[in-house]
Amino acid sequence: MVVETDGMSSGVETKRRFRLSTPTIVGGGLWALSAKLVSQVAQLSAFIAAARILTPQEFGFFAFSSAVATFLVVFAEGGWAEFVMKSADGEGHLDQVTTISLVSGLLFTALGLGAAGILYEAFDKILEASLLALFSCLILPCAMTTVYDGALVHRGQLQSQAIIRITAEAAGLALIVFGLFMGWNVFALIAGRLAMQLVLLCGSIMAVGWVRPVGPTRMLTRELLGFSQHVVANRLIVFLRSYSGTLAVGGFLGLAEAGYYRAAERIVAALYELVGEPARMLAWIVLRRARDRENSEVGKDDAVRKAGNMLFPLLLAVATPVLLGLALVADDFVDLVLGEVWAPAATVVSILSIKQLLMVSGCMTEPLLSIQGNIRRMAPVGLANSLVIIGLVVALAPFGLLPLAYGQVLAGIVVLATLIWLQGRYGGLDWYGIARGSGFVPLAVAGMTCTMFALGLAIDLSTLQTWATLVLQAAAGATGYLLVLLLVRRFATGMFPVLVVVAPLTPTHDIAGR
């Protein structure tokens, strides 16, 4: 049974204060990581199944419609979830934010359907119009879901959020596979995404309670739209950056090379999101509570800085073995997941993994600057970084996949430098302290690399099946990495305090279901 929740009363409810310990935060992160893992497995499974059935032309139609719909979704989602998550009394205006999300969802759904109508009537593009019309049906559920999703994160209900996401991904994948085998072709992919989004929305409403829409005040509308314009600007930059590589490669080198490059990007992005998305959600929770603990502005800044100095080394400690490990085993991984026909993508995967590792700290920039009240500083820097990335794509794509990939590593170095400056100046982070506190990561990476090299000397991996080789390499690398971490924690704890499980990273909180 769905219980109606008044948005104003929910704000009072969240003022109950309990102590939040480190295990609670880590547990929430593990749930978020599990949900992201299921999401990536589901999306990869859908990609593999579709690649064996759909033609390149159908993929092209799908990509076109998906790009237009994604563009509209960016506007429809605004910064509603982030507005709820960043505020100490984030649910105090949940009813008004819900109303704004409904209006934006309906508006951009109408725009999508209108664009589909123009394609059909003016250009006689029946298939493209049909795909875009179906994609437009996603916009309203996406806009509504983001508000409830923000409420779940604000309450710290990461377990509930993860369970909902896992259920939604399973439902979407099931419908995609069913539709593909029933001959729905590209429409199966859209049907699966729509099913997933509807399950997300219904599950979030059940977890949070139905929020009755209330007309927003002029003051709240002005504040929300002012905040959201920066979030939307940042996401538009990411949107343009995400599609530039594939389009440039397709235009200069052909569809086959574009397929290799897109596959490599998708694999690296999947592994990155396993780390980045849980880290982003934890950053929202930890940094906001660190700020809310203090009364003075100086105390708030110091608390956020200390929390950030603890979170960023943890992010590097988790992301480095994942992305660097992918670079080391890319050949076997691509062969196992996509097959021999995709072998040219393996080297690109290795190179792009390094680029993504350089940019990994960017996943915490939005929460950090939002909490510090400097989110407006993010868009200009993001735009400059995107221009560098897109410029290198356009300049190097005509020379082949490898020059293009190496150019992205160069872009990653530029992005890292700007992130360090942005997070230090406007986020209050001490990057010198972060670098010093992360010194154990290179030691652990050396242990991982040496263990994998020793495995290759001890066993002729070429005689084994691909899956067996990959499992042995992953096990050896993980063993070497964790062994060094344990040794450092045992003998050099004073140098790297982040390795010590200390009590609470954040002060107090309302723990749902306590």
Work out the pLDDT band at 302, boundaries 50, 70, 90: confident
Average pLDDT of span 16-24: 44
Closest CA to 316 of 368, 252, 360, 285: 360
Check residue 57 and give its pLDDT. Answer: 59
Give CA–CA dist 238/226, Å, rounded: 20
Query: Is 472 in contact with 458 (CB distance < 8 Å)?
Result: no
Return the pLDDT at 450. 92
- 105-128: average pLDDT: 90
pLDDT category at 281 given cuts 50, 70, 90 is: confident
The b-or-e profile of 383-418 (16+ CB within 10 A means b, else e) is bebbebbbebbbebbeeebeebbbbbbebbebbbee
The most confident of 167-176, 280-289, 339-348, by mean pLDDT = 167-176
For the stretch 342-374, pLDDT in tens is 788 899 999 999 999 999 988 888 888 888 888
Cα(74)–Cα(479) distance, rounded to whole angstroms? 41
Is there a contact between 156 and 510 (Cβ–Cβ < 8 Å)?
yes
Judge whether 153 and 26 are in contact, CB under 8 Å: no
Q: Which of 43-57, 283-297, 469-483 has the lowest mean pLDDT?
A: 43-57
Whether the per-residue pLDDT at 16 is higher than 60: the answer is no
What pLDDT sits at residue 4? Answer: 43
Mean pLDDT, the chain, as a whole number?
82
Measured CA to CA, the distance from residue 424 to residue 430 in angstroms comes to 6
Band of residue 255 on the pLDDT scale cut at 50, 70, 90: low
Q: Would you say 301 and 389 are in contact if contact means Cβ atoms under 8 Å apart?
A: no
pLDDT given for residue 12 in this prediction: 38
Question: Taking Cα atoms as reference points, which of 359, 360, 378, 363 lies closest to residue 425?
Answer: 378
- What is the mean pLDDT of the segment spanning 294-320? 80
For the segment 211-228, the average pLDDT, to the nearest whole number, is 90
Percent of the chain with pLDDT over 70: 85
| Encoded tokens for 230 | 């920066």
Please give the pLDDT value at position 506: 39
Q: Is the pLDDT of residue 85 over 90?
A: no
Please give the Cα distance from 61 to 135 (Å, whole number): 12
- Rounded CA gap, 398 and 456, in Å? 36
Burial of 420 (0-12, 13-18, 19+ CB in 10 A): middle
Using the predicted structure, report yes or no on whether residue 299 has a pLDDT greater than 80: no
